[in-house]
Amino acid sequence: MEKSFVVRGHICYSPVPEKIEIVENGYLVCEDQRVAGVFETLPEQYAALPLTDYGDRLIIPGLSDLHLHAPQYAFRSLGMDMELMEWLNTHTFPEESKYADLDYAARAYEIFANDLKHSATTRAAVFATLHVPATKLLMDLLEQTQVKAFVGKVNMDRNCPDFLCEKDSATSEMDTRRWIEETMGAYKNIQPILTPRFTPACSDDLMERIGRLQKEYHLPVQSHLSENPGEIAFVGELCPDAGFYGETYDRYGLFGANGPSIMAHCVYSGDAEVELMKKRGVFVAHCPQSNLNLASGIAPARKYMDRGLNMGLGTDIAGGYSLSILRAMADAVGMSKMYWRLVDESCRPLSVSESFYLGTKGGGAFFGKCGSFEEGYAADLVVLDDASLPHPQALDVEKRLERVIFLGDERNVFAKYVEGDRVF
Ligand code: GUN
Ligand code: FE
């Protein structure tokens, strides 16, 4: 059968947050781009399939990055001394305005796409900029990486500088419609996603138009929510009749009611907002490194897990400087400890397995059956080589995985497959 094969190695995955399933020297069978099963000994029926033996290496599901900004990759790690609104105005908007120039966009997006390709990420939800040609170029480049990604042309028509602001809501809608028509169904790996930047940058009229586009084209939505105290106060001024920030999306159907939606950050979501996210199935993109860098605050990831919200991890490049979801897992554990210590002692820290779950199956759920090795899941897998992280003892596989999560990066990614295709 097409794209059917077996890989052998130490197989690690989390069907549930509480535990990492490990099969040492196990066999992962992929049939027709999907996982057929994980076995301690290879069943006879699969003996004829091609087998790749990865020896002493670890095999994990491909990782999902639920939130990142491709045009911000070039300035990641620079200018990390401000909080959100000042950072957007000082660094982010001037940098994003450069993507009006396709030559600059090509140079910058090639670097980004190459790094994403060699990361452990197999699925991603990506913000571009408001520029249609550069967004299409990004989609072309990401298509070649074989990462399965939703990419959004950004909508923004108010409270932003002249050099990075759409002329009006009608122009924004027209450009978005043209972009959707040109990109929907045009790629194997890439799909468009509606991307109102955040309520401060989108007029009511623009939100309404995006809501109508969603109904017409049935596209998912990504945006930002309750990230920073100043931002939230601004939304309160702009939308005095909204009970909470999430309502400013929900009243246009952009909060999960009419299709899947990802909301990044949710650092300060109150009970009513959390209840609506639960009801609407909104995905929280938890971006711990960004929340730290931009001094946004500490998102209550434990509360969201216990409440059973859909949740995954995001790098939020360039709020976060690392493109690695392994790093996001480590940061999620660390930030949850600070929440427990400083904010609410009834919220115990996330365990490594819970964080691993968020970076694999938790975020993967946005893309369908992704991020696990249970039967029927997409054959997205990453082979990790930890030989560069020597240890004086013979550690068990779980400890080795824990060390790669905390100490590893893309240099430890030995091989990667997406839906049964080997990328490298
Ligand atoms: N809110 C609106 N735009 C942005 C952005 O580019 N990054 C982050 N972290 N938050 C935002
Ligand atoms: Fe963001």
Kindly report the average pLDDT of the chain as a whole number.
98
Return the residue matching tokens 């699969």.
46
Asked if the model's pLDDT at residue 90 lies above 60, the reply is yes
Report angle CA 333, 337, 343 to the nearest 5 degrees: 135
Distance (angstroms) between ligand 2 centre and the Cα of 377 equals 28
pLDDT of residue 145: 98
Residue 332, C-beta contacts closer than 8 angstroms, at least 6 positions apart:
286, 288, 301, 313, 350, 355, 358
- Contact 60/360 with Cβ under 8 angstroms? yes
- In angstroms, the CA 248 to CA 273 distance is 11
User: CA-CA distances (angstroms) from residue 30 to 3, 8, 88, 230?
Assistant: 8, 11, 44, 49
Confidence tier at 2 by pLDDT (50, 70, 90): low
- Contact 141/148 with Cβ under 8 angstroms? no
- In angstroms, the CA 325 to CA 96 distance is 23
Provide mean pLDDT across the span 100-112: 98
DSSP run (H or E) holding 196:
strand 195-196
Of ligand 1's atoms, which has the minimum distance to the CA of residue 319?
Answer: 9
This model's pTM is above 0.75: yes
Distance (angstroms) between ligand 2 centre and the Cα of 156 equals 14
Q: What is the pLDDT of residues 359-388, one digit of tens each?
A: 999 999 999 999 999 999 999 999 999 999
Asked if the model's pLDDT at residue 335 lies above 70, the reply is yes
Asked if the model's pLDDT at residue 244 lies above 70, the reply is yes
Q: What is the pLDDT of residues 271-318, one digit of tens each?
A: 999 999 999 999 999 999 999 999 999 999 999 999 999 999 999 999
Ligand 1 surroundings by CB, under 6 angstroms: 69, 84, 88, 92, 197-198, 224, 227, 290, 316, 319
- In angstroms, the CA 125 to CA 114 distance is 16
Q: Which residues surround ligand 2, an ion (CB under 5 A)?
A: 264, 316
Residue 159, C-beta contacts closer than 8 angstroms, at least 6 positions apart:
200, 201
Of ligand 1's atoms, which has the minimum distance to the CA of residue 72?
Answer: 6
- Contact 110/381 with Cβ under 8 angstroms? no
pLDDT of residue 3: 84
Q: What is the pLDDT of residues 254-263, one digit of tens each?
A: 999 999 999 9
Q: Considering every ligand atom shown, identify the ligand nearest to the alpha carbon of residue 296 and give its number.
A: 1
Distance (angstroms) between ligand 2 centre and the Cα of 392 equals 40
pLDDT of residue 91: 96
Return the residue matching tokens 């009834």.
346
Distance (angstroms) between ligand 2 centre and the Cα of 219 equals 19
DSSP 220-251: -EEEEES--HHHHHHHHHH-TT-SSTTHHHHT
**Neighbouring C-beta atoms of residue 32, cutoff 10 Å:** 12
- In angstroms, the CA 202 to CA 213 distance is 15
Q: Is omega for the bond preceding 170 within 30 degrees of 0, making it cis?
A: no
Q: Considering every ligand atom shown, identify the ligand nearest to the alpha carbon of residue 156 and give its number.
A: 1
Distance (angstroms) between ligand 2 centre and the Cα of 286 equals 10
Residue 241, C-beta contacts closer than 8 angstroms, at least 6 positions apart:
none
Q: What is the pLDDT of residues 180-204, one digit of tens each?
A: 999 999 999 999 999 999 999 999 9
Of ligand 1's atoms, which has the minimum distance to the CA of residue 96?
Answer: 6
User: CA-CA distances (angstroms) from residue 56 to 52, 260, 290, 384?
Assistant: 12, 39, 34, 10
Asked if the model's pLDDT at residue 80 lies above 80, the reply is yes
- In angstroms, the CA 73 to CA 323 distance is 9
DSSP lists the bridge partners of residue 58 as 10, 384
- In angstroms, the CA 285 to CA 311 distance is 6
Distance (angstroms) between ligand 2 centre and the Cα of 172 equals 20
Confidence tier at 57 by pLDDT (50, 70, 90): very high
Whose Cα sits closest to atom 5 in ligand 1? 88
